[in-house]
């Protein structure tokens, strides 16, 4: 197995290894994920109608790393995520056409006093409000519902970029220069992304940070840009973990200034109750595009903020989550890991979604229930059940307003 994976690494990285010792200090890890879900009432919100759907999707990830020279190592990540159950077998040619090298970069350690990554790479943290490139974690997309097109239900994104990383005592700084789109025929239409992040550890319990990202592109003879500037703070208040983020858009798109803004607040508290009980709460508000002469709807660079198993993945309320983040949400939840069954964690969460402007309706409410079983560090299982019901006065509710339901199970095997 290791020899096979090693040959894949050689093929993926190509001739750049010619002067390096072949696969020196080679390491690999990976993950196989399977997600099965059954939904009903999503299209017409009517239980009496036959609109049930069921799908089983898969994703295979393989990450490899090896030394190329002193202070230089390489990372390669291969992904195959096109396969759904019931589609029949695939030929060798079909399989080879659906294997993608999502990461291929080199690490340069302590060059000029800081670290560098050069090449296609994952970036950011899963669930981030502003920017994330990487494998989409649970809850997984229903891609066709979310984007109105065919595609993987477990998508993976990456960015072609240079990133520099510097740490000195309490300071942690990094920068990003990358490209998310390259138009060979019309180079002026390329989409370039830049950013800088600064974090400072005020104490062992508190960290304060700030960031600035900018995305630039051209349409015709007009230059456009969307920037996001924000501050973050996180800390520990006597066991209460708190996080806060404020973000504001800048730049000009299609002749109008970008003036969107967002706020996100989180809190979590854990204590012992026949095991470990954790309570969570969150509030989010992203401005809507309801100001004349301005692009007032908040936008991220490549958001991964997707609250709710249904609302955050299935295109409900016309996909307000991933398009412009223009909604208000608060949610409260709890998860419990019983001391007598340490492999099990059960959870429940309530979400309330509404417009971020004054309206006589809200979008809807969602209830999520999960049960996670950790057999080992390598094997984990998840069962989940989600209900979403539109507000009767919502413009997205139909004449019949039965709850949308999703029942599912996911399995993960790490190697």
- The whole-number pLDDT of residue 125 equals 96
How do residues 100-159 score in pLDDT, each as one tens digit?
Answer: 999 999 999 999 999 999 999 999 999 999 999 999 999 987 655 555 555 677 889 999
CA separation for the pair 134, 122 (Å, rounded): 5
Q: Which residues have CB under 8 Å from 222's CB, separation 6+?
A: 254, 255
* pTM across the whole model: 0.89
Q: Is the pLDDT of residue 84 over 60?
A: yes
CA separation for the pair 124, 292 (Å, rounded): 33
How do residues 22-72 score in pLDDT, each as one tens digit?
Answer: 678 899 999 999 999 998 877 666 666 667 888 899 999 999 999 999 999
The CATH code for residues 31-58+109-414 is 2.40.160.100
How do residues 336-373 score in pLDDT, each as one tens digit?
Answer: 999 999 999 999 999 999 988 888 888 889 999 999 99
Q: Is the pLDDT of residue 7 over 60?
A: no
- The whole-number pLDDT of residue 213 equals 98
CA atoms within 13 A on the CB side of 13: 28
Judged by DSSP in three states, 70 sits in coil
% of the chain with per-residue pLDDT over 70: 86
Q: Is the pLDDT of residue 2 over 50?
A: no
- Nearest-CA neighbor of 348 among 366, 362, 363, 367? 367
Q: Report residue 289 as tokens.
A: 């595009």
Number of helices (H) and strands (E), helices first, in the chain? 4, 23
| Average pLDDT of the chain to the nearest whole number | 87
- The whole-number pLDDT of residue 288 equals 85
CA separation for the pair 294, 255 (Å, rounded): 9
For the segment 154-170, the average pLDDT, to the nearest whole number, is 95
Q: Which residues have CB under 8 Å from 119's CB, separation 6+?
A: 103, 104, 105, 106, 160, 161
Read off the pLDDT band of 21 (50, 70, 90). low
% of the chain with per-residue pLDDT over 90: 62
Q: Is the pLDDT of residue 4 over 50?
A: no
CA separation for the pair 35, 54 (Å, rounded): 11
- The whole-number pLDDT of residue 243 equals 97
How do residues 293-331 score in pLDDT, each as one tens digit?
Answer: 788 889 999 999 999 998 888 766 555 544 568 889 999
- The whole-number pLDDT of residue 173 equals 97
- The whole-number pLDDT of residue 18 equals 47
- Nearest-CA neighbor of 35 among 389, 381, 318? 381
């Amino acid at each position: 197995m290791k020899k096979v994976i090693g040959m894949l690494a050689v093929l993926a990285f190509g001739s750049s290894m010619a002067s390096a010792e072949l696969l020196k200090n080679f390491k690999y890890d990976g993950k196989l994920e399977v997600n099965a879900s059954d939904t009903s009432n999503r299209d017409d919100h009517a239980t009496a109608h036959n609109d049930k759907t069921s799908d089983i999707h898969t994703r295979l990830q393989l990450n490899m790393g090896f030394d190329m020279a002193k202070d230089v190592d390489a990372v390669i990540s291969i992904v195959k995520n096109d396969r759904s159950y019931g589609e029949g077998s695939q030929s060798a040619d079909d399989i080879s056409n659906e294997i993608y090298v999502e990461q291929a970069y080199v690490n340069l350690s302590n060059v000029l006093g800081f670290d560098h990554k050069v090449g296609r790479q994952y970036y950011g943290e899963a669930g981030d409000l502003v920017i994330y490139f990487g494998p989409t974690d649970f809850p997984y997309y229903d891609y066709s519902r979310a984007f109105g097109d065919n595609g993987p239900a477990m998508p993976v994104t990456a960015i072609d970029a240079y990133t520099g990383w510097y740490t000195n005592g309490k300071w942690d700084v990094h920068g990003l220069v990358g490209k998310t789109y390259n138009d060979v025929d019309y180079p002026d239409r390329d989409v370039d992304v830049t950013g800088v992040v600064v974090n400072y550890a005020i104490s062992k319990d508190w960290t304060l940070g700030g960031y600035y990202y900018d995305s630039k592109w051209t349409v015709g003879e007009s230059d456009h840009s969307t920037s996001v500037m924000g501050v973050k703070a996180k800390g520990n208040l006597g066991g209460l973990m708190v996080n806060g983020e404020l973000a504001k858009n800048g730049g000009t798109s299609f002749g109008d200034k970008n003036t969107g803004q967002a706020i996100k607040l989180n809190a979590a508290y854990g204590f012992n109750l026949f095991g470990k009980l954790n309570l969570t709460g969150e509030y989010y508000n992203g401005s809507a595009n309801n100001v004349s002469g301005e692009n007032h709807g908040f936008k991220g660079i490549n958001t991964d903020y997707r609250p709710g198993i249904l609302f955050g993945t299935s295109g409900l309320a016309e996909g307000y989550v991933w398009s412009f983040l223009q909604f208000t949400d608060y949610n409260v939840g709890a998860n419990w890991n019983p001391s007598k069954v340490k492999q099990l964690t059960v959870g429940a969460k309530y979400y309330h979604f509404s417009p971020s402007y004054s309206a006589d309706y809200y979008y809807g409410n969602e209830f999520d229930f999960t049960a996670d079983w950790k057999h080992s560090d390598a094997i984990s299982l998840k069962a989940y059940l989600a209900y979403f019901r539109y507000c009767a006065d919502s413009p997205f509710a139909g004449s019949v307003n039965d709850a949308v339901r999703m029942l599912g199970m996911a399995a993960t095997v790490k190697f």
